[in-house]
Amino acid sequence: MCRKRVQAYEYMSIYDHLNMPQKEAVLNTEGPLLILAGAGSGKTRVLTHRIAYLIDDFGVNPWNILAITFTNKAAQEMRQRVNDLVGMGAESIWVSTFHSACVRILRRHIDYLGFDNHFVIYDTDDQKNIMKEICRKLNIDTRLYKEKALLAGIAHAKEELRTPDDMEKAAHGDYLMKKTAAVYREYQMVLMKNNALDFDDLIVKTVELFEKHPTVLEYYQERFRYIMVDEYQDTNTAQFRLVELLSSKYKNLCVVGDDDQSIYKFRGANIHNILDFEKSFPEARVIRLEQNYRSTKNILEAANHVIAHNEGRKIKTLWTENEEGEKVHFRQFLSGYEEAEYVTGEIMKAKRQGLCDYKDCAVLYRTNAQSRVFEEKFLTAGIPYKIVGGINFYSRKEIKDLLAYLKTIDNAKDDLSVRRILNVPRRGIGDATQTKVQEFADHMGYSFYEALRVAEEIPSIKRSLSKINDFVSFIQSLKAKAKEYNVRELLEDVIRLTGYVDELESEGTEEAESRIENIDELITKTQAYLDAMEEQDEPATLSGFLEEVALVADIDTVDPSQDYVLLMTLHSAKGLEFQRVYMTGMEDGLFPSFMSVRDGDPEEMEEERRLCYVGITRARKELTLTSARQRMVRGETQISKVSRFVREIPRELVDLGHTIEEKKPQISGNGSGSAYEKMRRAFQENAYSVSKNYTVKNAEPLSYGVGDTVLHSKFGVGIVKNITGGGRDYEVTVDFDTAGIRKMFAGFAKLKKL
């Protein structure tokens, strides 16, 4: 765009609240553009205003714009902001995730690749089930070749756009790779037979479609003349190729990302996509967004100092006009249990004092296993919480059963779904009969359901024939209803006719009641889908609903209106922000991980440091880092030193508080000869033997520990900060809400745990 045009719009009211780099990013619309957007620098604001500018001021048709992000949550937020800015016509803009956009394209054109347009999308559990069948079929010893490792090898190959043939050629003398290539080939054959795609296929098949059918590619190049990609640092090779193909005609590609937040290498993300953007697109402009609107100065300085230790990055330094704020809190404890008690107590105290709601707090950790002890403490304390990354709602048995019915109605070629519901509810069709059906299907080249439909042709199956025919008739009747019923009506009919809920009600257990509640939630989900489609003036189809639930991510289930503390891994926290963040397990060997410390790989350590940077920059007002001197890991006690990432933060930015390594200060005015000090020494002495027949006993164990909330008759409610063990009594340090920090002896204080 010419400079005159940029200047003409520089002071338009809609852009007055943008800073200069943001405004520059909005107004430069032509050609490749890399926006290096630091954490909390307003990248979503830039993208949405850029879309508004293209439509309102640059005259671009809304349907010529494609905006891609990585989560449904981010896509929904972006779409809402675009609607608020643009209004009429905004619904024509494609704002979606990579996977959703590819599903939409494949629904129209996948028949070019030999698939039916009613394909199903397999989740992780479905993939595992297929892999088990393949390993049995190919006589693979799963003790030597783990199913999970084989699936990971296939996923990595797809991320790099490598076919089974490519893998086999590259194997040379690598027997494992050669074996994986054979499994990969069989795996793809099963998927095609079932008219199914896995998540990686959604991208791979779209790239294949564009490369093999130029007319289809040209249609979408004309359709999407302006393309914007958020979180570009997280793209893999397949996603890069997809974007490259779509933008190759008009070159109007704007990517937004932050190499300092590239943390998904284990999922195939290629950081060089953003680091080498100018090499891939030589005419590209680069704009840096460095002003942070999220965090306090102290938190931001801590983040800057940590990430500065990485060498493989584009240089940028975040700054903010926000207040200086509190120092970063660091606390070290003897064990993971004390760590969890402290965090629990701090959250309770902040909530009780009206400093925050539960939803303003997040507990972050490196591995999912660390959540258990926090769950225990939160349950005891009555703190509501939600774990992100636990059992996915759509992975629960009752939900998968009912979705399998809907999948079978939509696509009967999906053998996995048909076999799942064949005996749900029990129909007396045994494993032996199913094996005969499967063998017949394989021999004839039929799907499992097609074999069921001609079961009378299968030898030695007459005893089960009537039961099979009843099942086929039932499915055919549901298929007929699907033409008239909406998704909710169809689901409710499946539930009623199968007696699924009736059977659960007859159990009369709490578990059964919980499963019924999950089914009710699934019905609610169908209605929400219908309402959303009506609002968007789009058709509500069974395929569309199944597609939506297949693409849902863990983070999409978080309801920001619910008042609960979020427990999640650092990887899951990306893209979120909280008033108070507790980063736990800050120990070398845990974070950074044991593997990165052991192997000494600079790239692995830099990825771990980027993960730390992401965690720090989630915090708006208050950041607490915690570690434990010893922690139970895989059944063994592990002694660890404080994480190097904590040590990379300058001392002047950190509040150490009371750590286990600090010498406890004496109370002012109580010298070594004071009455208090004499009493202190006396009560801290170990028990001693007065005579052979009389021994002074040790103090009884306390009912509370560090981090617990306690009540004192005079000072009121407080949090236990430290306990010094002794012989006759314990010295307890308590931070009271009104009286401040006090030290006292447990025997005299008579503290009551709340």
CA separation for the pair 458, 567 (Å, rounded): 53
Distance CA 711, CA 736 (A): 9
34 and 611 Cβ atoms separated by less than 8 Å: no
502 part of the active site: no
DSSP string, 132-181: HHHHHHTT--TTTS-HHHHHHHHHHHHHTT--HHHHHHHHTT-HHHHHHH
DSSP state of 537: T
261 is a catalytic site residue: yes
Catalytic residue among 407, 609, 618, 721: 618
Phi, psi of 223 (to 5 degrees): -65, -45
- Annotated active-site residue 231? The verdict is yes
Q: Which of these is catalytic: 126, 159, 231, 587?
A: 231
CA distance 746 to 629: 25
Q: Which of 10, 44, 659, 728 is catalytic?
A: 44
Q: How far is CA 67 from CA 142, 159, 254, 338, in A?
A: 42, 21, 9, 46
Chain centre to alpha carbon of residue 595: 22
The yes-or-no answer on residue 230 being catalytic is: yes
Handedness of CA 167, 169, 174, 178 (dihedral sign): positive
Q: Are 568 and 364 in contact (CB under 8 A)?
A: yes
| Whether residue 359 lies in the annotated active site | no
Among residues 336, 372, 294, the alpha carbon closest in space to that of 579 is found at 294
Output phi, psi for 316, to 5 deg: -160, 150
Using CA atoms, how far apart are residues 108 and 104, in angstroms rounded to an integer?
A: 7
Cβ neighbours of 644 (radius 10 Å): 19
- Of 23, 43, 488, 721, which is the active-site residue? 43
Nearest to 243, CA basis, from 272, 273, 287, 198: 273
With tokens 């297929």, the residue in question is: 130
- Cα distance from N-terminal residue to C-terminal residue, the chain: 65
Catalytic residue among 69, 261, 332, 433: 261
Amino acid at 448: F
Largest CA distance in the chain: 101
What lies within 8 Å, CB to CB, of 176 at 6+ separation is 145
Active-site entry in 123, 147, 198, 230: 230
- Catalytic positions: 43-44, 230-231, 261, 618
